[in-house]
Amino acid sequence: MVAPVATSPGAASTTEHPKLGARAPSRPAGDKRANGSGSVRLRGKTWTARLSLGEAGRPTFSLPTCRTEQEANARLEVLADLAGRLLAAGQIVLGLPLLEQAAAREGRALHDVRLAIEQLCKGEARARPSGEITFAEFAELVVSGRLAEQYPLHVKALRRPEPYRHKLNHVLEVLGPIPLPRLTLDHADRAISMLPAHLEASSRQGIAKFIHRILALATYPARIIANNPLPRGWIPKADDNKAKGSLYPDEDRRLMAAVDIPLSYRIYYGFLIREGMRADEAGRLEPSDLDLDRGAVVLDENKTDDPRAWALSPDVVRALRAYFAICPPKERVFIGPNGPLPGRSGAKNFRNHLRRAGIDRPELFETTQSRLNIRLHDTRATFITIKLANGRTETWISDRTGHKSSRQIHNYKRAARKVAELGLGDFAPLDEAIPELNGKSGPVGGSASTSAGLEERSPSPSYDASLVRALPDRAPSAVDDDAGQPTGGNATATGAALGPRWAKPATRPAADRLKASEIIEVSSDPAASPQESWRDS
């Protein structure tokens, strides 16, 4: 039998429970507990606090940092004070997750929660998602960019959300309907275990990384959950030891010389191979990013958020000048038959174009347990390998590729030594390797019939290759690559600056200006009319 504890006259009595420990003083019958008041009790080995919070009910808060009843009562006073502020401001429902964090935190972390509650009471804090938001709903906030709009200092919007939606589709069946506060490590393990068997280890790792990132954002800055349920080391390892393909200089020359491949693709491939830029970075290039009068490029937006600029190779500058005279740039520098390159099937088109150019080296087109077939991204490997073999420094290469460590470039040195020992040389000048840009080709880009079926393209009328002649005393008229209609007065064709980024340069010497003879085409049909149009098919 438990003896009652002595109390002073008029005070409420208290009792001691052998398992639950001390309880708060009992209330006289009919006395309703006031909002903001509460009590503490010991549940097992953890102290808890229970508060009356009006419309939010009487929730119980775990006090994991409290070891004694005195510490628990001290934390109860802190919670009661914070709850009173939220009740007075009418923000108790929205502030309930903050009270849960205040119950579990110490030191600087508790101070941050106090500040957040003060901002909420003043109306300065944004409304946060409900504590019952599901994984799928919060993931959509991340992918759509709405979370980045809400927390611009801590979250960056995804430049290309579609690949991340594709990753989520593999796990939403398991994780999607689960409220974030109830999501556990077991749920995440089950989602990863149910991934399709055909996925590579690197793909599994990428999906796991994105799951971890979503839960990290739910922890902070969204503060929907107190801790990320995924422990350190949960993300699976992925061995990246597979051999990757790269082109040799003579294969690059064959690709550039294949006139039945659209010119827009060849100038794009040639640029990637000679400058080492990522495929999607080059695809986002705008005319104002280039200064062809000085031979420079500025890449402000890229994968690593590390703006970089460098001097283009002189042959690339000459090739771009000649290409822009034929196909004036629009919203993007590299525009293919269906829009900005690389498009949806960049790797597939790249391999198809290599085959069409007569490049059939087996290791470029096979995927085994130890090798990957060549991808569009491997134009960077081609660039690094050949430039290392020809004596370029790691610093010179990283200025163009954006690699942040010597170790990343070191991986290509073995292949570079092989190229150097074989004496394969360097890439041919781009303006000389592409026949249309040096006046030695037939019809630009080949006919529609030779291109049909080898790359995905939207339905469009066929255009016959026509004669492009230079008229006396003036440059040839520019031709619109998409519509096949002549256009005139483009700043690019006349050698002016390509955009507002650059100051107006001085007039170039006559020797550097593009001559009409550089783009004269020789038609196989002598009777072809100079008024006919052509397009890059």
pLDDT tens digits, residue range 470-528? 323 333 333 333 333 333 333 333 333 344 344 334 444 444 444 433 433 434 343 44
pLDDT tens digits, residue range 32-44? 445 557 899 998 8
Instruction: Say if residue 22's pLDDT is above 50.
Output: no
Does the structural domain 249-361+428-519 have CATH classification 1.10.443?
A: yes
Place of tokens 């790269």: 246
Q: Cβ neighbours of residue 474 under 8 Å, at least 6 residues apart?
A: 516
Give the up-direction half-sphere exposure of residue 322: CA atoms within 13 A in the CB hemisphere: 27
Instruction: Give the span between the Cα atoms of 523 and 441, in whole angstroms.
Output: 9
Say whether 249-361+428-519 and 135-219 share the same fold: no
Please report, for the chain, the start and end positions of each structural domain, with discontinuous segments joined by +.
17-122, 135-219, 249-361+428-519
What is the pLDDT confidence band of residue 384, given thresholds at 50, 70 and 90?
Answer: very high
Instruction: Give the span between the Cα atoms of 103 and 65, in whole angstroms.
Output: 8
Give the up-direction half-sphere exposure of residue 365: CA atoms within 13 A in the CB hemisphere: 13
- Which of 118-132, 258-272, 395-409, 439-453 shows the lowest per-residue confidence on average (mean pLDDT)? 439-453
How high is the pLDDT of residue 218?
93
Q: Which residue has the higher pLDDT, 405 or 467?
A: 405
Q: Which fold has domain 135-219?
A: DNA polymerase; domain 1 (1.10.150)
How high is the pLDDT of residue 323?
95
Instruction: Give the span between the Cα atoms of 2 and 20, in whole angstroms.
Output: 13
How high is the pLDDT of residue 205?
93
Q: Which of 403, 432, 209, 213 is nearest to 308 (CA)?
A: 403
**CB-CB neighbours of 346 under 10 Å:** 19
Instruction: Give the span between the Cα atoms of 327 and 485, in whole angstroms.
Output: 11
Please give the structure tokens belonging to residue 499: 């955009």
pLDDT tens digits, residue range 67-94? 999 999 999 999 999 999 888 888 887 7
Place of tokens 């039945």: 260
pLDDT tens digits, residue range 295-313? 999 887 655 566 889 999 9
Q: What is the pTM of this model?
A: 0.53
Is the distance from CB of 252 to CB of 427 less than 8 angstroms?
yes
Please give the structure tokens belonging to residue 448: 């529609």
> Coil, strand or helix: which one is 299?
strand
